[in-house]
Amino acid sequence: MHQFCVSLDADENGSHIVHLDGCPGWPALKFTRLLGLYEYCDEALRAARMFFGQVDGCSQCIPQCHAQFQISELVSQAEP
Protein backbone atom coordinates (compact mmCIF):
# COMPACT_ATOMS: atom_id res chain seq x y z
CA MET A 1 0.00 0.00 0.00
CA HIS A 2 1.19 3.51 -0.77
CA GLN A 3 0.36 6.95 0.56
CA PHE A 4 -1.31 9.28 -1.95
CA CYS A 5 -2.18 12.96 -1.72
CA VAL A 6 -4.13 15.44 -3.85
CA SER A 7 -3.07 19.05 -4.38
CA LEU A 8 -5.47 21.71 -3.10
CA ASP A 9 -4.50 24.04 -5.97
CA ALA A 10 -5.72 23.17 -9.46
CA ASP A 11 -3.24 23.10 -12.34
CA GLU A 12 -3.58 25.10 -15.58
CA ASN A 13 -6.18 22.61 -16.84
CA GLY A 14 -8.29 22.96 -13.71
CA SER A 15 -7.32 19.53 -12.41
CA HIS A 16 -6.25 18.71 -8.88
CA ILE A 17 -3.20 16.49 -9.19
CA VAL A 18 -2.86 13.23 -7.28
CA HIS A 19 0.67 12.26 -6.19
CA LEU A 20 2.30 9.10 -4.89
CA ASP A 21 4.52 9.27 -1.82
CA GLY A 22 8.12 9.98 -2.81
CA CYS A 23 7.24 12.03 -5.90
CA PRO A 24 9.66 14.94 -6.52
CA GLY A 25 6.59 17.00 -7.43
CA TRP A 26 4.75 16.31 -4.15
CA PRO A 27 3.56 19.75 -3.00
CA ALA A 28 4.21 21.22 0.44
CA LEU A 29 2.01 19.56 3.03
CA LYS A 30 -0.13 22.66 3.61
CA PHE A 31 -1.10 22.60 -0.09
CA THR A 32 -2.19 18.97 -0.08
CA ARG A 33 -4.83 16.71 1.36
CA LEU A 34 -3.67 13.22 2.24
CA LEU A 35 -5.86 10.55 0.68
CA GLY A 36 -4.64 7.55 2.67
CA LEU A 37 -3.11 4.25 1.68
CA TYR A 38 -4.00 2.65 -1.64
CA GLU A 39 -2.55 -0.13 -3.72
CA TYR A 40 -3.36 1.44 -7.10
CA CYS A 41 -3.46 5.01 -8.32
CA ASP A 42 -6.97 4.68 -9.78
CA GLU A 43 -8.27 4.00 -6.26
CA ALA A 44 -6.52 7.16 -5.05
CA LEU A 45 -8.04 9.17 -7.91
CA ARG A 46 -11.47 7.89 -6.97
CA ALA A 47 -10.88 9.05 -3.40
CA ALA A 48 -9.68 12.46 -4.65
CA ARG A 49 -12.91 12.86 -6.65
CA MET A 50 -14.81 12.94 -3.35
CA PHE A 51 -13.10 16.29 -2.69
CA PHE A 52 -12.66 17.74 -6.19
CA GLY A 53 -14.70 17.37 -9.37
CA GLN A 54 -11.71 17.26 -11.69
CA VAL A 55 -8.64 15.27 -10.73
CA ASP A 56 -5.69 13.85 -12.61
CA GLY A 57 -2.71 11.66 -11.85
CA CYS A 58 0.75 13.22 -11.69
CA SER A 59 2.73 12.59 -14.89
CA GLN A 60 5.93 12.02 -12.88
CA CYS A 61 4.92 9.53 -10.18
CA ILE A 62 1.80 7.82 -11.60
CA PRO A 63 1.95 8.26 -15.40
CA GLN A 64 -0.37 5.24 -15.76
CA CYS A 65 -3.09 7.39 -14.14
CA HIS A 66 -2.19 10.60 -16.00
CA ALA A 67 -4.72 12.04 -18.49
CA GLN A 68 -4.93 10.21 -21.80
CA PHE A 69 -4.58 13.35 -23.93
CA GLN A 70 -1.06 13.86 -22.62
CA ILE A 71 -0.14 10.35 -23.72
CA SER A 72 -1.63 10.88 -27.20
CA GLU A 73 0.39 14.09 -27.51
CA LEU A 74 3.53 12.08 -26.86
CA VAL A 75 2.47 9.50 -29.43
CA SER A 76 1.77 12.12 -32.09
CA GLN A 77 5.18 13.72 -31.47
CA ALA A 78 6.84 10.36 -32.02
CA GLU A 79 5.28 10.01 -35.49
CA PRO A 80 7.43 11.11 -38.48
Residue ranges in contact with Zn ion by CB under 5 A:
19, 23, 25, 58, 60-61
Q: Rounded to the nearest whole angstrom, what is the least distance from the CB of residue 7 to Zn ion in the complex? A: 9
Rounded CA gap, 49 and 76, in Å? Answer: 29
* Closer to Zn ion by Cβ: residue 61 or 65: 61
Q: Rounded to the nearest whole angstrom, what is the least distance from the CB of residue 60 to Zn ion in the complex? A: 5
A 10 A CB-CB count for 7 gives 23
* Closer to Zn ion by Cβ: residue 64 or 76: 64
Q: Rounded to the nearest whole angstrom, what is the least distance from the CB of residue 5 to Zn ion in the complex? A: 9
CA distances (Å), 57 to each of 31, 40, 78, 79, in order? 16, 11, 22, 25
* Closer to Zn ion by Cβ: residue 22 or 80: 22
What 3-state DSSP class applies to 5?
strand
